[in-house]
Structures are given as C-alpha cells and as structure tokens.
A and B are shown apart, each in its own frame.
Chain A
Amino acid sequence: MDDKYKFIDFLGLRFNVANDLSVLVSAVLVFILVFTLSRKITMRPGKAQNVLEWMIDFTNSIVKSAMPDGSGKQFNLYAFVLFLFIFVSNQLGLIFQLKVGGFTYVKSPTSNPLITMGLATISLLLSHYYAVKKFGFGGYISNYARPVKFLLPINLLEEFTNFLTLSLRLYGNIFAGEVLLALIGTVAKSFGAVTFVAAIPLAMVWQGFSVFIGAIQAYVFTTLSMVYISRKLEQE
C-alpha cells in the first residue's frame, strides 16, 4: 500500500531492500526447515524424515500428475524447492512484517510482482531449455506452428500470457491478502478501543484464510509450472 521501501543501486541495477531481504529470509527459513528435517537419514525413517519424505512425495505427485510417464523425475527437486519457497514466502508476511523508521524491511516477498515474475521466469526458462534440449532448436521452433500453422501467433502470445498469469496470479493473491490485512489494521486504529476489539476477530479470520490462500497459491504455482514445462516437452 503506502509502504516505503529503501533502494540500493548496484552495478547499474536497482535493488529493493525489502524484497531482497524477504527473499533471503524465506530462503534461509526453507533451508533451515529441510536441514533440520534431514539430519538423521535412515532406512527406517524417524519423525523428521517422515515429514520431509511426506513433503517430497507431495511435490513428486504434483510433477507426476503433469508428467505421468516418469519423464518429470528431473524436475522433482525444482518442484520441491519451488513449492517450499513460495509457501514459506506467502506465510512470511503473515507471521511478521518488519518496519523500521517508516521503511518496510521484511514482508512476503511474493507480494511483489517482480519477485513472482522472477520465479515465473525460472519456470519458463526451464521449460524452454528442456524443450530445446529434447527437440533440438529447430524442433523447438517448429513446435510453435503445431498442431496447425495458423496457431503460430496464438502460441507465441501464449508464452507471454503464461508468464504474466503465472506471476501475477501469485502476486495478486498475496498482495491482496496483505492489503486487506493492512486495511483491517487501519480500521482497528481508527476509532480507539471499540474498533480495535471489533477488528481482532476480523484479522484472525483473514489471517487464517491467508494461510490457506498461501498454501493453495504455492500448490497452484508449482502445478502450473510443471504443466507448462510438460506442455513444452510434448509434441502436439
């Protein structure tokens, strides 16, 4: 909303400190999570290993539903990290937001379109890379004119719409969640104790719902990434 951010210019690029710090925090949280869960790997899994394997099985099933012939095994790791990272990122802004001197430093990194576009870029780059690797560059180019030639412009357009819908869906959901949370916060502060008390259940309900949305959006983003990759990898 009306948050202010600090920017750093470095090597001719502009960095948003809040975004980068949030990304870093999310990444570190994800790493700590899987690191602590994977300390004792045994044939007969303990509690931590069971949790980790459950998550791995979950993301593997996402990949498998998009690529049922087992060709998607190489994307299992990507789906796993992507899902966990987006999930943690989505929840990060709900759990804590850091504001110092009017500047936001930590929030949900996925509530920024550039971050989600960065994630979508990774997914789509992977899909193009593996399509070229599978069909060769000529085959990859000719796939745009399939199944019939006049679909070429639509197929080209689809690449951009895929990118935009993938990134903006995630951004929109998380950003809207944070906006509404901020609005509820404003309501709470507007008329003293009365609105403060009234806003508490509202904020609780919306936060619970945001947790749900965050999980769903992580799942959707991962699933659609895999679907786009699988569509690039098959010839119509």
Chain B
Amino acid sequence: MAGLLVLGANQVALGDMLFILVSFIVLALLVKHFAWGPVTKMMDARSEKITGDLDYADQERSRAEKLAKEREDALKSSRAEAVEIVSKAKESGETQKKSIVSDAHSEAEEVRQRAKSDAAKAKEDAMAGAQNDIANLSLEIASKVISKELNADDQKSLIDSYIKELTVNEAK
C-alpha cells in the first residue's frame, strides 16, 4: 500500500479524468433509475392528462353549445308552429262560421220559398175546391128548384137552409 502512495504536486493525474468519467456516468445512470425516470414519466403523464382534459373540455363545450343551439332552434320552430296552428285554427273557424251562416241563410231562404209556394198552392187548391163547391151547390140548388115547386114559405125556408148551409160551409 505504501508503494502505491506517491507524494508530489507536479505530476499530471490522468486517472482523475477516467475517474470523473466513470463516476459521472454511474451518477447519471443512478439518477435516471431512481429519480429522472419516474419523475419525467409522471410529468409526461400529467401533461398528457392535462391535454386530454382540455380536449375533453373543448369537446364537451362544443357539444353543449350544439345542444343549446338545437334546443333553441326547436323552441323557435315550435313557437312558429304554435302560431301557425293558432292561425290555421282561426282561419278554419272563420271559414266554418261563414259556411254555417251561409248554409243557414240558404236553408232559411229555401224554407221560406217552400212555405211561400206551399201557401200559394194551398190557396190555389182552396180556390179550385171552392169553385167546385159553388158549382156543385148551384147545380144542386138549381136541380132542387127545378125538381120541386115550392111555395113562398117553403122556398124561403129552403133558401135560408141553403144559405145557412153555405155559411156553415163558408165558415168551415
């Protein structure tokens, strides 16, 4: 051991360079294994997670925006639809009312016309009936007058009875 120890200050100790080379490499490997590796791995994982989270947030936000827009559109369209439905209902109600009124008008007119014509026909019929009755009556009177010679009283009573009959007939 004593032979290995050499005292001196002016010799170049090239072994030092080798020593620092080896020790530096060993240090680097140890640091890599115990600290650098796990920490950088975790840092990468973290940055990846952050990017992922940011991406996810962006995605979610755009989706939410899309949904909100869709909902707004739906709301707008439903409002328009409602307005349309109301206006359509109003319109149809209007036309129905119009048609009902016009139907009623025409029906009333028809009823009136029919009544008018019925009345006219009844009058005509009555006139025709009366004419027949008068003709028959006068024919009967004539035949009775002819068939029977009557005295004045009988004649008078006869005429009265006929007149009465006639008035009764007329009153009928």
Interface residues of A (CB under 8 A from B): 4-10, 13-16, 19-20, 23-24, 27, 30-31, 34-35, 37-38, 41-43, 45, 49, 52-53, 56, 76-78, 80-81, 84-85, 109, 112, 114-115, 117-119, 121-122
Q: Are A115 and B16 in contact (CB under 8 A)?
A: yes
Task: Name the B residues within 8 Å of A84 (CB-CB).
Answer: 31
Task: Name the B residues within 8 Å of A38 (CB-CB).
Answer: 34-35, 38-39
Return B117 CB to nearest CB of chain A, in Å.
Answer: 103
Q: Are A4 and B9 in contact (CB under 8 A)?
A: yes
Q: Are A114 and B13 in contact (CB under 8 A)?
A: yes
Interface residues of B (CB under 8 A from A): 4-9, 11-21, 23-24, 26-28, 30-32, 34-36, 38-40, 42-43, 45-46, 49
Task: Name the A residues within 8 Å of B12 (CB-CB).
Answer: 14, 114
Task: Name the B residues within 8 Å of A78 (CB-CB).
Answer: 28
Nearest to B36 among chain A residues (CB) is: A77
Return B40 CB to nearest CB of chain A, in Å.
Answer: 7
Q: Taking A52-B35, A77-B36 as contacts, is the C-beta distance between A114 and B24 under 8 angstroms?
A: no
Q: Are B24 and A56 in contact (CB under 8 A)?
A: no
29 CB contacts below 8 A, A to B, read A6-B7, A7-B6, A7-B11, A13-B15, A14-B15, A15-B19, A19-B13, A19-B19, A19-B20, A20-B15, A20-B16, A23-B20, A34-B34, A38-B34, A38-B39, A41-B42, A43-B42, A52-B39, A77-B28, A77-B32, A78-B28, A80-B31, A80-B36, A81-B24, A85-B24, A114-B14, A115-B17, A118-B21, A119-B20
A81 to B17, CA, bound (A): 17
Q: Taking A14-B13, A115-B16 as contacts, is the C-beta distance between A53 and B31 under 8 angstroms?
A: no
Nearest to B38 among chain A residues (CB) is: A41
Q: Are B49 and A43 in contact (CB under 8 A)?
A: yes
Task: Name the A residues within 8 Å of B45 (CB-CB).
Answer: 43
A35 to B33, CA, bound (A): 10
Task: Name the B residues within 8 Å of A56 (CB-CB).
Answer: 36, 39-40, 43
Return B1 CB to nearest CB of chain A, in Å.
Answer: 9
A149 to B42, CA, bound (A): 48
